[in-house]
Amino acid sequence: MKNLINKAKKTLLGNRKKGYTLPTNNKLYPAQWNWDSAFIALGYSYFNLNYALKEIQTLLDGQWKDGMVPHILFHDTNNNYYPNHTAWNCGNKIHSSGITQPPILSSILKEILDNNKINKNQFLTVKKIIKKIKKYHEWFIKFRDPKNSGLVSILHPWESGYDNSPIWDSPMKKIVIEKNLNYKRADNKVVNPEYRPLNVDYDKYVTIKNKLKKHNYNPKTVFKLSLFNVVDVGFNSIFLKANKDLANLLDQFKLDKTVISNYIKITEKNLLKLYDKKKETFFSKDLRHNRRIYVPSISNYFVLFADINNNIINKKLIKNLKKHNTKSEYFFSSIKSNHKSFEEKRYWRGPIWINCNWLIYKGLKNKDEVYANKVKKMTVQIIEKKGFYEYFSSRSCKPFGAKNFSWSASLYLDLKNNKC
Ligand code: GLC
């Protein structure tokens, strides 16, 4: 499918702006997003290493003084997106949102460096990048886990990257929508509203955001006061792997890794506290209401990506992962399709997402090569059948959301370049 490889490259280049890349070329996402940019950088690394590094540099240009890397950077403020830069009203050198997103960046950077030789100039650029990522991770450790439990919290569903996942239904249930909210959504004008989050959810997202804003996004205060505070197993799995990859990079670049290495040890131990032996499943924890969250989300299997040192649990996870979707379906649906919350078309409540499949594939590679290959083949097939869409039905493979979606193109390039 050489043709499609070229198309993938063209998709990325078509979405590229000055030093960064939009998630898609329509009006749905008119800014730079954190984890999108990381995935996008991986795609560029297969044909333009400088673009890959530039994408990461631009993202880190938006880093806050305290270390946070925002989930959105508004380089171009002239757009219809809501919440826009004024609704957030924050940022360091670049207007931004006041929350973050899954810190996949160090894992992506390590992949890029494993596959490429860099010259002297690029070495210096990468060293600066690594220092900034270290500061980002230290921000998480300090402010998102003040009790040093080894597990970090997210303070807004958007921080997870799986915005309207049913995982958040219970923690969001009690949130009282702020009175007189006055805003206009643009997303459901660009894409069929059936495929997007509901208005009632959006009202709650905006309510949570407004509370964070009211406290000036002060990381200490908002940890205590945010209306939403969840320890999510998928997010923490990504962070654990990201810390392991960062520790490796710090070694390679002769930088101090003490804080990161110590944290990895605590996480390794305490992530297992989110495992329910009887149910053979991981759960997330709503810290705000002190409740466990059991939702059969594909993100529970991101633990495989974290490479925990526990073969028994890894094996059980793989056994159950194989039952996540039944034979006749495409996989992996973001939510197990026999669960009451499953919706075939609605965003993160059922459809297949290429980045989730990619995380699972990477996690399986060193644990079950045969199944890893099957996941890769299925994922590639979906794209070859339908194109670089944002998400897909697990029942019919029907594509939804944005066309020319950058991370679908990018990760296609990566999957096609992976031998196993
Ligand atoms: C949505 C997704 C999020 C993604 C962003 C841009 O908000 O839920 O994961 O980063 O769009 O593509």
* Per-domain residue ranges of the chain: 2-417
pLDDT at 328: 75
Query: Would you say 314 and 308 are in contact if contact means Cβ atoms under 8 Å apart?
Result: yes
The radius of gyration of the chain's CA atoms, rounded to the nearest angstrom, is: 20
pLDDT at 326: 85
3-state secondary structure (DSSP) of residue 32? strand
Is the Cα torsion angle 2, 402, 175, 98 positive or negative in sign?
positive
Report which protein residue has its CA nearest ligand 1's atom 2: 161
pLDDT at 418: 86
Report which protein residue has its CA nearest ligand 1's atom 12: 23
Ligand 1 centroid to Cα of residue 142, in Å, is 25
Return the axis-axis angle of helices 354-365 and 369-386, rounded to nearest 10°.
160
pLDDT at 420: 66
Measured from the Cα of 24, ligand 1's closest atom is 12
The model's pLDDT over 190-231, given as tens digits with 9 standing for 90+, comes to 999 999 999 999 999 999 999 999 999 999 999 999 999 999
Q: Is 195 in the pocket of ligand 1 (CB under 6 A)?
A: no
Look up residue 328 and give its DSSP letter: T
Tokens of 293: 């969250």
- Residues with a catalytic annotation lie at 163, 390
Give CA angle at 393 (388, 396), nearest 5°.
105
Q: How far apart are CA 225 and CA 227, in angstroms?
A: 6
Block residue for tokens 């799995």: 237
Ligand 1 centroid to Cα of residue 163, in Å, is 7
- For domain 2-417, give the fold: Glycosyltransferase (1.50.10)
pLDDT at 221: 98
> Burial letters for 257-277: b for 16+ Cβ neighbours within 10 Å, e otherwise?
bebbeebbeebbebbeebbee
Tokens of 309: 């040192």
Q: How far apart are CA 119 and CA 238, in angstroms?
A: 29
Mutate to test the pocket of ligand 1, among 27, 35, 36 (most ligand atoms within 8 A of CB): 36
pLDDT at 412: 98
Ligand 1 centroid to Cα of residue 267, in Å, is 26
Peptide bond into 83 cis (omega under 30): yes
Report which protein residue has its CA nearest ligand 1's atom 3: 161
Measured from the Cα of 407, ligand 1's closest atom is 12
Q: Is 163 in the pocket of ligand 1 (CB under 6 A)?
A: yes
Measured from the Cα of 163, ligand 1's closest atom is 8
Dmax (CA) for the chain in angstroms is 56
Ligand 1 centroid to Cα of residue 349, in Å, is 14
Q: How far apart are CA 283 and CA 295, in angstroms?
A: 7
Tokens of 364: 């399986």
The model's pLDDT over 103-151, given as tens digits with 9 standing for 90+, comes to 999 999 999 999 999 999 999 999 999 999 999 999 999 999 999 999 9
Reported pTM: 0.98
**Segments of the chain scoring below 70 in pLDDT:** 1, 420
pLDDT at 327: 75
Helices and strands, counts by H and E, the chain:
17, 11
